[in-house]
Amino acid sequence: MSQFPTEPWVLAVLSALDESAELWVRLNGWRMRLPVGTLLTMSHCISLGDAGEIAAWVETAHFQWLQEQAQPESIFIDVGAATGVMTLPMAAAVPGIKILAFEPAKRAEHFLKQAIESNGFCGVQVLPAAISDNDGTAEFLERPVDSSGDWPFLPETSALSGAYDEIPGSERRTVTTLTLDTVCLLHRIYDRHVLVKIDIEGFEVHALCGARQAIAANRISLAIDIHTRVDGGDGTTEGGCREVLEALGYSCSMLGHVLLCSPPSRG
């Protein structure tokens, strides 16, 4: 894992505050209140804007791609929502959009819910489940905060067990797993315009294998963070994701580390 440098003033300010304290920030261009606990996970992406306000630019390019696809009647499913780097600006950018944010990590779920409440974002539901290829339970590994500040995003890499080796301070527990097929069935998502972001540390193909019925029933655009394979194979999950989606008529292209996937046109 590479070290991501953080400006010294950022850590000095954030470390002096309680994690539940809130600051006004522009996250991917949208002004909102964020808990210090959230900002600590993105401290390497924080700078001062032209007006002297705190700005955080995180995963900005594919957020903008998702935003361009969004419509007020769209549904946004955030798979691996973490503290809300996609959910929160999407709620701000598209008033009226319905958002289902899936995040089984307790710390991230707590701060995401706090930010949603503080900013009065309506239509956002946070669910503490992991998305996978089956409905049931699985072992989940929640990674701790890195007190050194060298890897601020470390808690955001929490994932189903098997994605990486356990490190000191991690919490291992059992979580609920759902497929996207089941999610769409439970929430009556049918014949809708749906945006899906997937960032689940190597389990991307698992999520897609549990989404074939959902994809057939809706028009779904996906932004998928690509990671190292967790099945013991070489390389990344890009090939597996392409194989599933291109067989369904999708066009896919890489934007940095993210696979952007557009559905086929409907006649």
Render pLDDT for 231-250 as a digit per residue (tens, 0 to 9): 878 899 999 999 999 999 99
* 36 is a domain residue: no
Q: Report the CATH number at residue 217.
A: 3.40.50.150
In this prediction, residue 187 carries a pLDDT of 97
* 29 is a domain residue: no
Domain span at residue 190?
Answer: 59-262
Rounded to the nearest 5 degrees, what angle is found at the Cα of 136, between the Cα atoms of 155 and 203?
A: 45
* 30 is a domain residue: no
- Mean pLDDT taken over the chain: 90
* Tokens representing residue 148 in the block: 């050194």
> What is this structure's pTM?
0.92
CB 205 within 8 A of CB 237: yes
CA-derived radius of gyration, the chain: 18
Task: For residue 48, give the 3-state DSSP assignment.
Answer: strand
Q: What single-letter amino acid sits at 88?
A: L
Of all residues in the chain, the percent with pLDDT exceeding 90 is 70
Residue 253 burial class via C-beta count within 10 angstroms: exposed 0-12, middle 13-18, buried 19 and up: exposed
* 49 is a domain residue: no
Q: How many domains does the chain have?
A: 1
Q: What single-letter amino acid sits at 259?
A: L
Task: For residue 262, give the 3-state DSSP assignment.
Answer: strand
Give the Cβ contact number of residue 255 at 10 Å.
12
In this prediction, residue 143 carries a pLDDT of 80
* 50 is a domain residue: no
* 19 is a domain residue: no
CB 149 within 8 A of CB 6: yes
Q: 54-56 and 46-48: which strand pairing?
A: antiparallel
Instruction: Tell me how far the alpha carbon of residue 165 is from its chain's centroid.
Output: 21
* 70 is a domain residue: yes
Helix locations, 177-266, DSSP H: 180-186, 204-209, 212-217, 238-246
* 11 is a domain residue: no
